[in-house]
Structure 1
Amino acid sequence: MSILVFGSANADLIFTVPALPAPGETVLGDGFQQMPGGKGANQAVAAARDGASVAFAGCVGEDGLAGIATGAMRDAGVDLSRLLAVDAPTGCASICVDRAGQNQIAVAPGANLAARAAQVEDAALHPGVILLLQMEVPAEEVALLIRRAAGLGARCILNLAPPGDLPLAALRELCLLVLNQHEAAVLAGRVGVEPTATALRALLGCDVAVTRGVEGAEAATASGTEFTRAFRVDIMDTTGAGDTWCGVLAAGLDRGLALPEAMRRAAAAAALSCTRHGAAPSMPVAAETNALLSTR
């Protein structure tokens, strides 16, 4: 199998601060870094570093930030033949990280809004591929690609982040829907069910996984409910942990792991990412994840 990611690529501008700013407050930071980011690119990097064969489809601008946005994917060996450079600024995120490792993020989508489902050809959407998507590109294009991919036999995984408004018909085409607890609450409120994996699966008919940070993750499948504990680590920066979880989950499923085993591997990788600064640069390689799994 292989993984094809359709999503965003950003340049992350990261400010380390003593405390996250309150509304109207200016906080003097301790440091500044420029790093690759964007949920699509991050998840592509996480999957590739875990050993999967990964391709990426999306858009960047024709500017100096494009190289930053795509650098980690290039270094990880992600196939960028479906990446387009367009006449718009490269997507950019401003990220404040406090001393407890918590973050506050604002994103300007820029070129990501030009991403189109047509960048992915039908021949790439065969039963041997996992299509991994997020919501930082236009929702209508995500829905179009899900429907086309499902019809051609690809396994579709959507991380509904941020929790945009996608038609229920598109969600019902998925093999797996991944949300964090906030995203689950937003979707559940929109459709009128409890914000649990079980309730959402009953409504949608696809498998659903809900991540809950240090409280672990739950998944509802046709076989019942699965729960995975989080790995306890000393947290430095939580930026990118959710993307690490999604990318490594997809990589595990791609190599044939059952969902509970793939979730445990994803939890280990996400924990490791929290012990380092940044999003894509913090993501572990397979050997590091294997080492943590062997100790717990």
Structure 2
Amino acid sequence: MRCAISPGRAGLMGVLVFGSANADLVFPVPELPAPGRTVMGQAWRALPGGKGANQAVAAARDGVPTAFAGAVGRDALAAVAMSALRDSGVDLTRLRDTDAPTGAACICVDQAGRNQIAVAPGANALARADQVEDAILSPATVLLLQMEVPVAEMEQLIGRARRRGARVVLNFAPPEDALSLLGGLDLLVANEHEAAWLADRLGSSPDAQALRAALGVDVAVTRGEAGADAATAAAILHQPAFAASVVDTTGAGDCWCGVLAAGLSRGEPLAAAMRRAAAAASIAIGRTGAAAAMPLQAETEAALLRG
């Protein structure tokens, strides 16, 4: 079943993700390799990933209409990269096929669930803003972005989204010198490492309130076991992390962002959307993989009730 976002329908709510899609090559290892050292692991697996695709899967599994715009190659890894999107009913009519290789990531995961990740963007570098039509960028749409597709294309799309009234959320991962993007956002999401990187360049403290003051846009900072903080014009928010048994943290941040966007697209206030995102992420880190670990709406709602 396709969970499509169709332009022109009054009142339609949904999430549009413009971002990356990768094949994740996952290597479970007893410990993360040090420079110059080879670590022998167990059998590797090829799983769907990419921050954009992961977040789209998380939003779709949380029960909102979700569309994905990005690029893959015409190779065997494309089927891996797109499998979770298709299985989750994400609308792929804005997907671009290219002659470049599909993006890929090498992920080492140790016995404590910690990871090291190397990414080759491949076709993701060919994602273009014109794959997204203006009609979909309505006030009922949450546009969700990450930093794994070209900055110039994101900048164009953010400008168009602002003019059309769509709500714009950017996950600042991985961080790079693209500060020109940030002024057009409704919400910036960063983990504590990304927040520290950004604060260093802004000459501010890395907390959400200081970053908001420096940027002039709402900011949420996720802190793993310490939960998440957000600063808006109206309030300073804190959402504790839900108790969880950690198996693999690879997709936790993407889960948090996708489910947050889903909540916002339903009209939930930021505090409620953050709580929902925290509940979903607590489920995802108890599973292996990234896109494959994203919980269904009913699972997240059950976690919220247990609370």
Same fold (TM > 0.5): yes
Which residue in the other structure is 2:300 paired with? 289
- Establish whether residue 66 from structure 1 lines up as the match of residue 78 from structure 2: yes
Q: Structure 2 unaligned segments of length 5 or more: list them.
A: 1-12
Which residue in the other structure is 1:146 paired with? 158
* Distance (Å, rounded) in 2 between the aligned partners of 1:294 and 1:2: 24
Matching residue's letter, 2:234: S
Which residue in the other structure is 1:9 paired with? 21
* Distance (Å, rounded) in 2 between the aligned partners of 1:107 and 1:70: 17
Matching residue's letter, 1:148: R
* Distance (Å, rounded) in 1 between the aligned partners of 2:32 and 2:260: 30
Q: Could you give the per-residue CA deviations for residues 174-224 of structure 1, whole angstroms, max 9, x where no partner exists?
A: 111000001111111111111111011112221100000000000001112
Correspondence list, 1:117-128, <5 A: 117-128=129-140
* Distance (Å, rounded) in 1 between the aligned partners of 2:174 and 2:203: 19
Following TM superposition, the consecutive aligned residue runs of length 4 or more in structure 1 with deviations greater than 3 angstroms are none
Q: Structure 1 unaligned segments of length 5 or more: list them.
A: none
Q: Could you give the per-residue CA deviations for residues 106-135 of structure 1, whole angstroms, max 9, x where no partner exists?
A: 000000000111111111111111100000
* Distance (Å, rounded) in 2 between the aligned partners of 1:193 and 1:151: 30
Provide the alpha-carbon RMSD of the alignment: 0.8
* Distance (Å, rounded) in 2 between the aligned partners of 1:143 and 1:167: 10
* Distance (Å, rounded) in 1 between the aligned partners of 2:235 and 2:286: 33
- Establish whether residue 268 from structure 1 lines up as the match of residue 282 from structure 2: no
Which residue in the other structure is 1:174 paired with? 185
Which of 117, 122, 126 in structure 2 is aligned with 1:105? 117
Q: Secondary structure at the match of 2:23?
A: strand
Which residue in the other structure is 2:67 paired with? 55
Instruction: Please report how far the alpha carbon of residue 35 of structure 1 lies from its aligned counterpart in structure 2 after TM superposition.
Output: 0.4
- Establish whether residue 46 from structure 1 lines up as the match of residue 77 from structure 2: no
Instruction: Please report how far the alpha carbon of residue 147 of structure 1 lies from its aligned counterpart in structure 2 after TM superposition.
Output: 1.2
The answer on whether the counterparts of 1:11 and 1:66 sit within 8 Å (CA) in structure 2 is: yes
Which residue in the other structure is 1:256 paired with? 267
Instruction: Please report how far the alpha carbon of residue 4 of structure 1 lies from its aligned counterpart in structure 2 after TM superposition.
Output: 0.5
Q: Could you give the per-residue CA deviations for residues 248-289 of structure 1, whole angstroms, max 9, x where no partner exists?
A: 000011111111111011001001000010001111001111
Which residue in the other structure is 2:289 paired with? 278
Provide TM-score, normalisation by structure 1.
0.98
Question: How many residues are paired up?
Answer: 295
Which residue in the other structure is 1:36 paired with? 48
* Distance (Å, rounded) in 2 between the aligned partners of 1:3 and 1:165: 26
Instruction: Please report how far the alpha carbon of residue 167 of structure 1 lies from its aligned counterpart in structure 2 after TM superposition.
Output: 3.2
Which residue in the other structure is 2:7 paired with? none
Q: Secondary structure at the match of 2:24?
A: strand
Matching residue's letter, 2:302: A
* Distance (Å, rounded) in 1 between the aligned partners of 2:90 and 2:42: 33
Q: Secondary structure at the match of 1:148?
A: helix
* Distance (Å, rounded) in 1 between the aligned partners of 2:164 and 2:301: 34
* Distance (Å, rounded) in 1 between the aligned partners of 2:244 and 2:193: 22
Provide TM-score, normalisation by structure 2.
0.95
* Distance (Å, rounded) in 2 between the aligned partners of 1:153 and 1:166: 22
* Distance (Å, rounded) in 2 between the aligned partners of 1:161 and 1:116: 19
- Establish whether residue 214 from structure 1 lines up as the match of residue 225 from structure 2: yes
Which residue in the other structure is 1:183 paired with? 194
Which residue in the other structure is 2:5 paired with? none
Which of 235, 243, 254 in structure 2 is aligned with 1:224? 235
Which of 149, 174, 177 in structure 2 is aligned with 1:137? 149
Instruction: Please report how far the alpha carbon of residue 31 of structure 1 lies from its aligned counterpart in structure 2 after TM superposition.
Output: 2.3
* Distance (Å, rounded) in 2 between the aligned partners of 1:270 and 1:295: 14
Correspondence list, 1:238-249, <5 A: 238-249=249-260
* Distance (Å, rounded) in 2 between the aligned partners of 1:249 and 1:179: 13
Share of identical aligned residues, percent?
A: 63
